[in-house]
Each structure stands twice: as structure tokens, then as C-alpha cells.
Amino acid sequence: MLVVISAAVSEKGALIADDGTMIPQHTMEDFLYLFNVSGNGGFYTYSLATHFAWEMEGDMSEHVAKQICFQSIFGTFKQDLSILSEITNQGTWNTKEDMESCFKKMTTCGKSSKFYPIALKFYSELCSANMTGLLSSSYFR
């Protein structure tokens, strides 16, 4: 389970992120105008979300929770991890094998990890067919 923790609103109507970043009302209007889940809008949306504390249930470290969140959102589990080190503010990445204990079973163990999502330094448009592996298989009858 993944949730954004909290936010406050200033007297002038600006959103105050958990890390103290002020997000002015006009920025929220820009956000709604640009909102989409790919390209510039996706980058902008995710960049705003990185200013808020998130929480993920499970027995895992903050370091692992950040990576699971990022890879779940962007579908980068098939990527070369060294590329992710270059385009994000996360220097080291765990392999799926390193994190497999987090996926053994669904649980409500009562433990959770609070974290700020991994920030992107660079982005580009998604080439969906290639990224999802649809080009790596053939489906002939």
C-alpha cells in the first residue's frame, strides 16, 4: 500500500510540501493544465510528488521502498540499473533478487517505511513497445 502522507496550505493558498517546498496556486493550475502520465506532463507531475513524504507498508528499508515505488511507477524493472543511477538522484540500485524478500507474500505486518520518492534528473518519452518487452516476443498462430 502506498500513500502520500500530508500537505498543508498557506494563507495565500499555496500548497506546502512535507519538505517545506512552497507550491504556489498558479503552479497547481499549470499542473492541472499539463497533467498526463508521459513526457513533460509526467515529469512535471512526478517532480511535484517528490516533495511529499510517502509511506509504503512492508518490512523494508527506506532505500528499498524508494526503489520499489520508482520501478512500479515507471516500469524500469527491465532496465540497466547503471542508467537509473545516472538519470536519478539514487546512486545505487538493488537488483530484483536483492529485494525478493519484500515480495514473498502480501502482509499487513504493521511495519512501514516513510520516504521521499527518488527524483529524476533527466527524462525522455517512453517507447512503450520496446520498454514493455512487446518487441522481444512474437505471437504467431
Which pLDDT tens digit goes with each residue over 7-48?
A: 565 666 666 777 777 776 666 666 667 666 666 777 877 888
Which tens digits make up the pLDDT trace of 80-124?
788 888 889 999 998 888 887 777 766 666 678 889 999 988 877
Q: pTM of the predicted model, to two decimals?
A: 0.69
pLDDT band at 140 (very low <50, low <70, confident <90, very high): very low
Cα gap 137→74, rounded to integer Å: 21
Residue 117 is predicted with a pLDDT of 93
Residue 63 is predicted with a pLDDT of 92
Query: What is the side-by-side strand order in the sheet with 112-115?
Result: 2-4, 54-57, 112-115
Residue 56 is predicted with a pLDDT of 85
Partnered with residue 88 across adjacent β-strands are 120
Cα gap 44→30, rounded to integer Å: 10
Residue 141 is predicted with a pLDDT of 42
